[in-house]
Amino acid sequence: MTVWEAVIGIETHVELSTESKMFCSCPADAEGEPNTACCPVCLALPGALPVPNGKAIEGILKIGLALDCDINESSIFYRKNYFYPDLPKNYQISQYTFPVCEHGHIEIDVDGASVRIGITRVHMEEDTGKSTHVGDGDGRIHGADHTLLDFNRAGIPLVEIVTEPDIRTSQEARAYGAELQRIVLALGVSDAKLEAGSMRFDVNVSVRPVGAKELGTRTETKNVNSLRSVQRTIDYEIDRQIKVLEAGGEVRLETRHWNENTGVTTSMRTKEESEDYRYFQDPDLLPLEVTPAWQSEIRSGLPELPAITRARLATLGADMIAAGVLADSSDLAALFEEAVEAGASGRAAGIWLTGEVVAYTRRSDVAVLETGLTGGRLAELTAMVEAGKLSSSAAKKVLIAVLEGEGSPEEIAESKELLQVSDITAIEAAIDHVLAENADAVDKIRGGDMKPFGFLVGQVMRQMGGRADPKVVRDLLTDRTAG
């Protein structure tokens, strides 16, 4: 039986959150009343001309540099010609040869292993308007009674990031998408909202027998808009293609559509009937020059990238999972660093922050900075646990009270009488009392039946009001019941 492997490449579109559009001064805000953020340029009125937005170029340079790309000192805008009602000029200004950035890569982490995904190119283009197809036709243009057009989105700067066909599994694809989203967010160049479409994926999938050199025929599934859907689309496509091939069929080179509700992809159009875009250099725009000085200015202004943040947090003691969660939130990461600075163990601080603290902020819908938690207080809490002054359940109660703003862990533990008793005399007195009342249990234990031991521990803890260190109780009880 043939063993198959998948070959996957992803094209990601990221809408930049610049103030104005790519080639005109309209606000880059697609949310307003339809057709209110438009001008002669983005409506493609006769005679109007495009002028590139320098801020958008800065955005793509940041992305390109963050992905370790080579930056072309001179890059070219092309026209991609095709007719569609929501494309005002009936061509899209895009790039073809000589994009702004080429030959980058990104490192992702899949099940503890690092995987390198090559980035073929990162190029600049403009978004289209939005069509709403009304009537029969399931929201598609064919079969619709009429179509409403909103050009607010037309001309918003879009960056397209294209990977090499380096991805082999749907998990890798998902991890790639997630890491790219983190990078874009860290750079602050886009809100990267998948559900709102400001970041969206086109997924190219093919399969081939393991060991084969040649690529199989691929399909492209367009506009997948969640990380989960990326994974599901790929799983579905791999499965579908293998079935087609094993049944002796051929995979068709085609564009497919992912249906979130049914969980299947369906054919949109075959590539044979797809258009010839008649790319040519846009004569309205001069080559885009990126001087080495501009490039290094952008590079020196780059923020810390998520992978670096994670590595740094890990060296401070956070475990891998916690480092990942902390790196995604600059507030949590800052608290973490403060706590470690104040003497907390990185491992414990990471677990508390990413566990109880995150759960609390979600439950109460507050930002972590609005709670009573500080790095110092977290360090105090972890120190108390380590010293055996708080049981883990008591520590949780203390932490909640700290978050609620009731004071420092010491004060709270004191006032709520949650401090653990490690005073052996008190515990021994309690043990004396329990053993006297449960002589038969002691006999059983001494006779080799350990079942009642746990019961005795529980009785002692109860006698102590839950504040005894269970480890100490166990040790003392073991001695006292020994035969």
The site for other proteins (CB under 8 A) is made up of 40, 43-52, 79, 81, 83, 85, 88-91, 141-142, 147, 149, 276, 278-280, 283-286
Nearest CB to other proteins, comparing residues 279 and 294: 279
| Sign of the alpha-carbon torsion through 326, 332, 334, 340 | negative
- Give the binding range for Zn ion (CB under 5 A) out of 17-25, 206-214, 258-266, 307-315: 17-25
Contacts 24+ apart (CB under 8 A), 310-315: 313/337, 313/346, 313/350
Token pair 């808009």 is at which residue? 225
- Give the binding range for Zn ion (CB under 5 A) out of 40-48, 60-68, 119-127, 170-178: 40-48
β-pairing verdict for 113-126 and 130-134? unpaired
By the 10 Å C-beta count (0-12 exposed, 13-18 middle, 19+ buried), 4 is classed as middle
- Residue 286 touches which of other proteins, Zn ion, none (CB < 5 to 8 A by kind)? other proteins
Token pair 């990031």 is at which residue? 161
Nearest CB to Zn ion, comparing residues 44 and 435: 44
* Number of Cβ atoms within 10 Å of the Cβ of 429: 13
Q: Which of 295, 283, 292, 287 is nearest to 74 (CA)?
A: 287
- Residue 89 touches which of Zn ion, other proteins, none (CB < 5 to 8 A by kind)? other proteins
> According to CB under 5 A, which residues from 180 to 199 bind Zn ion?
none
24 lies in the binding site for Zn ion (CB under 5 A): yes
- The least CB distance from residue 79 to other proteins, in Å, is 5
Cβ(189)–Cβ(62) below 8 Å = yes
Helix (H, G, I), strand (E, B) or coil at 322: helix
- Residue 79 touches which of other proteins, Zn ion, none (CB < 5 to 8 A by kind)? other proteins
Nearest CB to other proteins, comparing residues 276 and 479: 276
39 lies in the binding site for Zn ion (CB under 5 A): yes
Quote the CA–CA distance of 39 and 51 in Å, as a whole number: 13
Structure tokens at 389: 């002054």
The residue type at 426: A
Nearest CB to Zn ion, comparing residues 42 and 67: 42
Quote the CA–CA distance of 309 and 457 in Å, as a whole number: 45
- Residue 42 touches which of Zn ion, other proteins, none (CB < 5 to 8 A by kind)? Zn ion
- Residue 26 touches which of other proteins, Zn ion, none (CB < 5 to 8 A by kind)? Zn ion
- The least CB distance from residue 36 to other proteins, in Å, is 14
26 lies in the binding site for Zn ion (CB under 5 A): yes
Residues 6, 42, 162, 305: which binds Zn ion (CB under 5 A)? 42
Q: Which of 109, 255, 115 is nearest to 178 (CA)?
A: 109
Nearest CB to other proteins, comparing residues 133 and 240: 133
Which residues are at the interface with Zn ion (CB under 5 A)? 24, 26, 39, 41-42
